[in-house]
Structure 1
Amino acid sequence: MKFIAPLCAAMMLGVGAAQAQVDLTTYADANGDLDVQKLTCAQLAGTFQEDADFMTVWYSGWYNGLAGYSKLKLDRAKELEHRVIVYCKANPDKKVITAMDINIKQMRKELGIKVNDEK
């Protein structure tokens, strides 16, 4: 019996700490538009996984388009997504666009990739 009470308390704390996932459209305006420059890491983390995946791919494409880089390397895209998620978990108050910028530039630097916006 003396082990049951602490176990129940621990389980209740875990349930309280769990956050419900919301649809990405929760953060859209009245017209259904999502301002990608205002989306925070906490908001991204609070969406369903497929929405978070979609957004990180979208951001990656946007950055690559700005740089005039029209290729997608799947392993790099997945690595970037992982890095952004790790960054966002550590920095929930930051904007996703900031997380993408930091991590894309870091990966490009590590891999020796030069693109039009960084030359």
Structure 2
Amino acid sequence: MIAKKLILSCVAFLVAAPAVAQVELNTYADQDGHLDVQKLTCAQLAGTFQEDADYLAAWYSGWYNGLAKKHMVNVTRAKALQHEVIVYCKANPGKKVIEAIDVVFKEYRSQNNIKMKK
């Protein structure tokens, strides 16, 4: 009986939950086709197709690693952190993606006792 109520509750939730249409990343570009990555919101990232989110995550990774003059990538760790950024963004749609990256990376460094060089 409890299982039946649980299943019915889940179905009711899924039916009542609003559907979010996914859009292409270029939807957020300006008239010249440029995307301001410093203004992109978590809601926009979460609302794009997975392959566009993957592309954008790779772009951000290259950008940040270039700024840090790092020329290596740990693919497994990068994918895991990308997933964490997307999870954070889904929970915080009003934040900017760069803020989400900052939060996730600070948490990762703290958990792994990684100190940043000044």
Bin the TM-score by the shorter chain. Answer: 0.7 to 0.9
TM-score normalised by L of structure 1: 0.80
5+ unaligned residues in a row in structure 2: which ranges?
Answer: 1-7
The reply on whether 1:32 has 2:29 as its aligned counterpart is no
Q: What is the Cα deviation at residue 18 of structure 1?
A: 1.1
**Equivalent residue for 1:94?**
95
Offset of residue 12 of structure 1: 4.7
Deviations 1:22-64 (A, max 9, x none): 0100000000000000100000111001001111121122111
The 3 A distance-change label for structure 1 pair 12 and 75 is closer
Query: Are the equivalent residues in 2 in contact too, given 1:60–1:100 (CA < 8 A)?
Result: no
Amino acid at match of 1:100: I
Tell me the residue number matched to 2:86.
Answer: 85
- The question of whether the paired residues in 2 share the 8 Å contact of 1:25 and 1:34 is answered with yes
Instruction: State the partner residue of 2:5.
Output: none
Residue 3 of structure 1 corresponds to none
1:61 matches 2:43: no
2:16 corresponds to which letter in structure 1?
L
Q: Count residues with an aligned counterpart.
A: 109
CA RMSD after TM alignment: 2.2
2:20 corresponding residue in structure 1: 19
In structure 1, list runs of 5 or more residues that go unmatched. Answer: 1-5
Pairing of 1:64-75 with structure 2 (within 5 A) = 64-75=65-76
Residue 103 of structure 1 deviates from its aligned partner by: 1.4
1:110–1:61 CA distance, 2 compared to 1 (3 A) = farther
CA shift, 1:106, in A, is 2.6
Q: Give the distance between the partners of 1:103 and 1:18, measured in 2 at CA.
A: 27
Partner of 1:103: 104
**Residue identity (%):** 61
